[in-house]
Amino acid sequence: MPYNALGDLYKIEVVKRLQKMGCNVKSVHALNLILEEMGILIHSGDHWLTSKEGVKYTICNSQVFDADAWHHSIVDAVFEYLQNSERA
C-alpha cells in the first residue's frame, strides 16, 4: 500500500519492486546498505540520515533521520546503480 495519495513508497515496497525487476535485494537493511553506497543515506548510530543528495528521493524538504516515504524515482536510481555495478 502506498505511503500517501501521491503513490510514494515505503522502503519494503521499494525492495519488492526491485525484486520484481530481478534485483537481488533481500531486505530493507540490504536496501539501506545499497543506498549508503550510492551516497543517498548516511549510517549514524542506530539510524539512517538522508544525505543532501538523497533528499530529492524523499517526501522531505531537508535531511531527515529514518525517512519512511520515497518517490518512485528511487526504484529506477537503485536499479540503474545495481546494473552499472553488475550486482542486479
pLDDT tens for the chain, 88 residues: list them. 666 767 789 999 999 999 999 999 999 999 999 999 999 999 999 999 999 999 999 988 889 998 889 999 999 999 999 999 876 5
- pTM of this structure: 0.89
Quote the pLDDT of residue 41: 96
pLDDT of residue 21: 95
71 sits in the region (left: phi over 0; alpha: psi -120 to 50; else beta) called: beta
Would you state the pLDDT for residue 73? 94
pLDDT number for residue 88: 54
The grid coordinates of residue 58 equal 524523499
Contacts of 32 (CB under 8 A, 6+ apart): 11, 41, 43, 48
